[in-house]
Chains A and B, each alone.
Chain A
């Protein structure tokens, strides 16, 4: 690291309070390694492979202050939601805004409370998956996160309804870093919608991290929705998951809006007979930039993973897809499928797509593909020649293109955001 970078990093980190309230204060076994990581890890730059196409200078060089838990939370994309609703504002659990329906076998509370009441479980799991030793922003999250959602499902607990988790970040130059911990014991089932809102036009920096433990025979299904409205809004969303045998992990990520979004999804498939499904869509306009980095690590035999991301880039938008799939030596009989498809609607938009399959086992079925192309104008004309207006024709074709992924979204309430009939 150059002295300039060193200085920049120090100035950036200086802004975040290290007071008693950080979760790390109750995790003494992690403190030393986090401190080291923050000292040693570089600010990602052009030559940092995993950040090649996403610049972080705008985050590092700006001033940020820790957001207040009392900041206003704006409108919801799910106003008519009748199930459990968990609201986090600037990374803080807001019990007053949440509606929780008690269910058998469910422990749902703030990370702050969990660090007191469920200290042992939290201590065992927290930061045991995540990559704080390799990634500056993960170390940053662990160092400064003060709260988040703690959700623990007991053995064989299956909730009646889905849980909606809504994250609001607002306030001028606000930074929020929350940390969620989701644990599904053996045979448990959980369906979630996780929504992220960059409220109003405030410049914000959100660095959100979740760890998900999917136990034996457990099933986790989550639809993630991102809507960051403002221009100077930066969001890093990181998910780490571990799957025990016979489990299923299904995640869809829909970026509805976002000027600077980085999604990291990392799944370790540690038990046999697992199913892993990752889906994603993005429709980017103006100067929006969305970067989806995914990693699926097949360590054991007889597992299957499906990954399908599709996006449309208009105007001067830029997109990144990087999908790593590891099939380790022992992971025989793995079926791994990965596909990324993009339509670039303008000469000024661009997409960087890189599937990365690393296979060390010999008896496997794996395929990956990436396509980036233009809009099919012939198809537009065909539809118009049947009486469909140009605008409707284009909408129909856009929907058809991302439709393959939209139909994988679990919750009709999320599908409805795309104008799909429920």
Chain B
């Protein structure tokens, strides 16, 4: 099988600090991977670099996304190619309505793919369907992007946007943190409903709990800017039980 995403010896720094130190990861179509790791190990940095945040300087390595040199194109083009990032901390954008910006985004994505734009009616039907999927209140879809949303509403809004844009690959950065039990279940349902043989997920999380709902094919540990351990879903249970010290010790050996 041809991998959907292959990250090769990726190195990145921010303001002169080296954060990613030669990271390797391969994700095949349809797979769900989970990344865990201590605070500050570089998980969000990886997500940002993949999504094209220019605050981070890539100093080495390569990323191939479905045959495209991902590092060669900007954030908007990456999204158009089918990469999606659900942010750990979604920003509030006063004055830009959720609906209008999604309409604009879909329009650009369709242009890029050279497929017909949605009619106004189709678009609204899609909004209705996808917001129902994550049980996002209709009022929220019409408000300014994330403005005044609760923490949980922001996370649901991220999943709603993912459902609208139907990416090939979605990176979810701690989408589970800050969610109550019901919301967690709803978000997980949304993700599971989107699982398909072509679509892959990269879940960044601190908690095994999310992985009870969205069962991963692989679990990786990111530590000091590298993937230091990979394993089946049981690895997450082991981490939950034992913490990261044993891995740090293994590393020291």
Contacts and interface: CB of A to CB of B under 8 A. Distances in A.
Contacts of B106: 387
Contacts of B104: 388, 392, 396
B238 interface: no
Given A385-B75, A387-B80, A390-B74, A404 B101 contact: no
Given A386-B102, A390-B74, A404 B95 contact: yes
Chain B CB within 10 Å, residue with most, of A385, A389, A390, A397: A385
B96 interface: yes
Interface stretch (B37-45, B86-94, B182-190): B86-94
A387 B94 contact: no
B154 to A, nearest CB: 11
Nearest to A381: B53
Given A386-B105, A388-B105, A396-B104, A379 B165 contact: no
A393 B76 contact: yes
A386 to B, nearest CB: 4
B101 A383 contact: yes
A383 B93 contact: yes
Give the interface size bracket for A toward B.
Answer: 20 to 34
Contact of B91 (A376, A387, A390, A401): A376
Chain B CB within 10 Å, residue with most, of A389, A396, A399: A389
B53 A388 contact: no
A389 B76 contact: yes
Interface in A358-410: 376, 378-379, 381-390, 392-393, 396-397, 399-401, 403-404
A401 B104 CA distance: 17
Nearest to A389: B76
A387 B108 contact: yes
B79 interface: yes
Interface string A255-266: 000000000000
A105 B11 CA distance: 77
Interface string B211-222: 000000000000
B108 A389 contact: yes
Contact of B74 (A382, A384, A404): A384
B233 to A, nearest CB: 28
A386 B87 CA distance: 11
B108 A385 contact: no
A400 B94 contact: yes
B95 A384 contact: no
A396 B101 contact: yes
15 contacts: A378-B91, A379-B96, A381-B53, A382-B87, A384-B74, A385-B51, A386-B105, A386-B161, A387-B79, A387-B80, A387-B109, A388-B105, A390-B76, A397-B95, A399-B95
Given A385-B52, A387-B76, 20 more contacts: A379-B96, A381-B75, A382-B93, A382-B145, A383-B96, A383-B101, A384-B74, A385-B51, A386-B102, A386-B105, A387-B106, A387-B109, A387-B165, A390-B76, A396-B104, A397-B93, A399-B95, A400-B93, A400-B144, A403-B95
Interface of A: 376, 378-379, 381-390, 392-393, 396-397, 399-401, 403-404
